[in-house]
Structure 1
Amino acid sequence: LINGRRVAISAFAEGITNSFVDINSIPVSAIERIDILKAGASAIYGSDAVAGVVNVILKKDIDGVEVNLGYGGTDGPNYEETTASIVWGTTSAKSSASVIIDYFKNTSLSSNEMGRLGTANQSPYGGEDFRSSRGFPGYFYVDGVKTIDPACPAENATSSGSCLFDYGPFGYIAPASERVGAISQFEYRFDNGITGFLEMAVQHNSSIAAGAPTPLDEDAGLTVPGSHPNNPFGQDIEIGRYRTVDAGARQWDIESDTLRFVAGLKGEINDWSWETAVQKG
């Protein structure tokens, strides 16, 4: 929730069973605090608290201007972060208004810059070997017999005929990303005691992530015809588990835009408080 109201799920969610809210769509400099309620059935949040609540409370009643600039980097692994924000607000006896602009950018930090995190084979460190059996150059079938590719390095070959692949060096500990967003809030107290409020937010996020080359299983249906000059068997051979190293590593270029609009009224009647609002996003 933001200020006690639901937030639209991320556009990258995969259906109802895998929906989530992109917290990166909330400018960090706009956050005053985060309330976490682990129990459900809250009297405060009602049906929004069936499985608990994470409620992000935004800054309000700001009077003045605040500018923040930040930069950080690391020795050893090459990683940098840049942040900037402008917070402006004004208040009076009957009204308040604020505008917050936030910017964040970081470079990527690859797994192979972080020692043991850059390999899927953790056995030298007392752990397990998690290298993939979808390897390169992999294995194939000749007359139904599983045959490991002779070009498979000895340290990657297994007794079962697979050629292991270390996908660890291809991952990112932190993908490169850039975020810029703004939030504006306005409140006005009418003479009848009713308060009108308005909240508008816009956010643009972009990031670049990478992963190991695409893995293929035996059901991919890859074959090398017997007429191929690199096929010494003179017959079609079926490719088993394989890693498309020749095609290069996978890369995901992700961009998202988030818009949010809330307008409403609130007030008190005797000992009761009431509030009504319309919201989009």
Structure 2
Amino acid sequence: MTAPLFKGVITALITPLRDGNVDEAAFVRLLERQIAAGVHGVVPMGTTGESATLTDAEHRRVVELCVETAAGRIRVIAGAGSSSTARTIDLVRHAKSVGADGALVVTPYYNRPSQAGLAAHFEAIADAVELPLVLYNVPGRTGVDMANETVARVAAHPNVVGIKDATGDMARASWMRAHIGGGFALISGDDASFLGYVAHGGHGVISVTSNVAPEAMVALYDAAAAGDLTTAREWQDRLSDLHVTLFRDASPSPAKYALSRMQLCGEELRLPLTPMRADLAPVMNAALGRAGLA
């Protein structure tokens, strides 16, 4: 069987901000920490990277800086989705031009296309740019759910190499493994259910938790991939509170709070996002302690 192009722990990177601008020095520090921890890849300019509120120029600069810093040591999958097919193609072309290994393309949000529209959207992007594409299905954010059959149709295109499934539905991985051939990458988009997703045949996770605890997430993945469920569950138990707490306020505000506690970057976000609620600080501190990060 063909191995998937993308697998393992792939961090959905935050974008550190300072005085209203991208803090490039902090971004490089965070990325170097990820590489040292052994993650298998990163996604700059995904939802966790505040792609919705950064300008086009900032978006492109973050992707370029990520590729330059990674320098081929890990995979870089550039966030490139939008509600517009034409704009998405433009972002994917930029990702290819700066040397990204692939692009993560979310289902169009707000305009809520039909299944036929979703298929046409992804096929148009795959036709336009010869770069590996990872589909991103997150109906809780976009208002549209990409059906399994639509995924299978789009996966027939040679440039579509995988999916980030953030539905939390374990059975989808089993269905896709049975109905989509080749090395199609099944990537979880939900840290809390990642272990179960691997048990259903998943190949990895695009993770928010690994921003904060990259070594632990790599250890969890390594154990799960090796079939050592006892060790994997031990890591999951250590991380379970962190998985949940990172989403108890609008993401990525809890992740930025945790990283600021670790003196890795500031808490600054761009409106309409605001810093994590003060009443969650003791909860986060306890979760960090349980994960061994106090």
TM-score range, shorter chain: under 0.3
| Structure with more strand by fraction | 1
Tell which has more relative contact order, 1 or 2 (C-alpha 8 A, sep 6+). 2
**TM-score when normalising by structure 2:** 0.24
**TM-score when normalising by structure 1:** 0.25
